[in-house]
Each structure stands twice: as C-alpha cells, then as structure tokens.
Amino acid sequence: MSSSRAKAQTALEVLFIAGIILIGAAILLPGYMNTNTDTVVLMHVKNAADNACSYLGTGVEVNEPAYSSLNAVIKEANYSSIQCKVSRTFIDSSTESSINLNVTVIYSGPLEVSKVENAISGFIENWLESKGFSRVNGALSYGGKTVSITVKVVRA
C-alpha cells in the first residue's frame, strides 16, 4: 500500500470518528440542557424559599422592595419571630416549554396560613426576577421555559 493511500484511509477514519462524535453530541446535548435548566430553576426556587424563612425568623423589617410581601407578615405578627423552614422543594412536571415546581413550608405562629403562603410566594417571585428570571406575558420565565411555582404552607 502506498503512503498516499494510507494517509487517505487515515483521513477517512478520522472523519468517520468525528462524525460519530458530532452525532452523539447532537443526540445527547438537548436532553442534558433541558435537565440543566430544570436543576438551575429548582436551585433558585429553593434558595429563595430558604431566604424567605430566614427573613421571617428575624422578626425585623428591611425597607427594601424585595421584602415588602414578607414585611406585611412581620408587622401582623407584631415584629416577633416567625419560625419556618422549607420542608420540600421538587419539580412536579417539566416539558420542553414549562416547568412546574412545588414548595412546602412548615411554620409555627398565630398567622393565617394563606397570608404566610401569599407572602412567601410573592417573595419567591420577586427574588427570582432579581436573579435573572424574566416576565413573559405575566408569567416567570427562565431558559425559554415558563416557570410555575406552587407554595404550600403548613402550620406545625
């Protein structure tokens, strides 16, 4: 076999291997990116819920717009500490265009469950907007996906 023929065969083998790698990447990458977006959204939502509980635990108001929904709860509790913790945060469902998350918070205190629930929901949405989420037709959006968050508060 001549050296030019061997070089041609080697070049074809390299092209074949490169083609297999590119096809593999084209098949695997979209699924990975979808999972990665879901993980980032889940992380941000859990972080926001944890921050809401930490803030309510202080019983102190901060005069910043991001905390306005939580400040109303602190006022109603007469500036006393509201003990709460995030019990569970999970992805309920996910598609190519949307992701639905559930957050469960356990708290103790005299306040109505619905007021604490609304305050934490409002805070999470404001927090996410400050972290790069956007509003598209009134709904939160991240990475091309519509994000829906359901907050459930349970009294301990």
Domain locations in the chain as residue ranges = 3-155
Task: Give the pLDDT mean for 11-18.
Answer: 78
Return the closest-CA partner of residue 67 out of 123, 142, 4. Answer: 123
Instruction: Tell me the β-bridge partners of 100.
Output: 93, 148
Q: Encode 38-59: b = buried (16+ Cβ within 10 Å), e = exposed.
A: beebbebbbbbbbbbbebbeee
* Predicted pLDDT at 36: 82
* Predicted pLDDT at 98: 94
Q: Which residue has the higher pLDDT, 10 or 26?
A: 10
Q: Which of 26-30, 95-99, 150-154 has the lowest mean pLDDT?
A: 26-30
All residues at 6 or more sequence positions from 68 whose CB lies less than 8 Å from its CB, including other chains: 122, 126
What does the pLDDT look like over 27-51, one tens digit per residue?
766 655 556 888 899 999 999 999 9
pLDDT over 90 (residue 1): no
Place 14 in a pLDDT band, splitting at 50, 70 and 90: confident
Task: Give the pLDDT mean for 72-100.
Answer: 92
**Residues 128, 41: Cα–Cα separation, whole Å:** 9
Is 136 in a helix, a strand, or coil? strand
* Predicted pLDDT at 34: 52
Q: Alpha-carbon dihedral of residues 82, 86, 87, 91, nearest 10 degrees?
A: 150
Instruction: Tell me the β-bridge partners of 24.
Output: none
* Predicted pLDDT at 28: 66
**Residues 96, 146: Cα–Cα separation, whole Å:** 10
- The structure's pTM equals 0.77
* Predicted pLDDT at 122: 94
Looking at residue 75, its amino acid is K
What does the pLDDT look like over 110-130, one tens digit per residue?
889 999 999 999 999 999 999
* Predicted pLDDT at 148: 96
**Residues 47, 17: Cα–Cα separation, whole Å:** 43
Residue 64 burial (CB count, 10 A): 9
Q: Which residue has the higher pLDDT, 100 or 131?
A: 100
